[in-house]
Amino acid sequence: MSAPTTPAPLNPDGSRRTFMKQAGGFLGLALAPPFLSQAERLTALSKKVEGVSTISLKVNGTVRTIRAEPRVTLLDALREYLDLTGSKKGCDHGQCGACTVLVDGRRVNSCLTLAIMSQGKEITTIEGLAKENGELHPMQAAFLKHDGFQCGYCTPGQIMSAVACVKEGHAGSEAEVREWMSGNLCRCSAYPNITAAILEAKGQMG
């Protein structure tokens, strides 16, 4: 499997984030075909797809297209094709929750979701939570305040899952948060601080 585009140049700090943030918006706009509604998608796609095809994904409000095989998961599409590396690959089998993203507002494991089946849907990743001016989402701020992590690898998945947990109405008590967040494992065991962060952010989420 190979990404169709040349890897982005590194920043002096070794990251590609700033570049990709710019390139994302701009290439997305330039290359994206008109976004298909679900009904249109039916006519457009109700034929067999073999090998590489063009897949349109609406990620964090922007339609992006990739050329990929049907076996490419949403997680790999985000990380390897769209350079949105916030969503993490932990177990790659739906057992750890590090890859959690929202699809049409519902939390899912992107490692068990096929990119080709995610077309026509609103995908939200950790990169799409903060406001454009950089102001953090209340859940992100609460994780910082309560030190809801140690190594940080599970954190993007924890935060995406936590946002959904609150919106679902499953953050009524510490016990409820623990039960409804059980799909996100933390190898550093920051659970008490994660729970505290979620209970606090709940009050600040509109």
Partner 1 sequence: MNNFSYIQADKAKEATAAKRDDKSAAFVAGGTALIDLMKLNVENHGQLIDVNMLPFRGIEMTKDGLRIGALERMSDVGEHPLVKQNFPAVSESLLLAASAQLRNMASMGGNVLQRTRCGYFRDTAFPCNKREPGTGCPALEGDNRNLAILGTSETCIATSYPGDLSVALTALDAVLTLENAKGKQRQVPITKFYLLPGTTPQRENVLEADELIVAITIPQTAAARKSKYLKVRDRSSYAYALVSAAVGLEVQGGTVRAARVALGGVGAQPWRSLEAEKALVGQPATEATFRAAAELALRGAKPREHNAYKIEMAKNTLVRALSEVAA
Name the residues that contact partner 1, by CB under 8 A: 41-42, 45-51, 69-71, 73, 92-94, 97, 100, 106-109, 112-114, 116-117, 161, 164-165, 168, 170, 178-184
Q: Which is nearer to partner 1, 23 or 205 (CB)?
A: 205
Q: How far apart are CA 174 and CA 22, in angstroms?
A: 40
Q: Which is nearer to partner 1, 182 or 189 (CB)?
A: 182
Q: Which is nearer to partner 1, 27 or 45 (CB)?
A: 45
Q: Which is nearer to partner 1, 46 or 133 (CB)?
A: 46
**Least distance (Å) from partner 1 to the CB of residue 29?**
27
Q: Which is nearer to partner 1, 17 or 41 (CB)?
A: 41
The pairs formed by 158-162 with CB atoms below 8 angstroms and a separation of 24 or more are 158/97, 158/100, 158/184, 158/186, 158/194, 159/126, 159/129, 160/87, 160/100, 160/101, 160/102, 160/107, 160/124, 160/125, 160/126, 160/129, 161/97, 161/100, 161/107, 162/194, 162/197, 162/198, 162/201
**Least distance (Å) from partner 1 to the CB of residue 34?**
19
**Least distance (Å) from partner 1 to the CB of residue 16?**
26
**Least distance (Å) from partner 1 to the CB of residue 15?**
28
Candidates 206, 172, 187; CA nearest to 195 is 172
CA dihedral 47, 52, 56, 62 (to 10 degrees): 180
**Least distance (Å) from partner 1 to the CB of residue 59?**
18
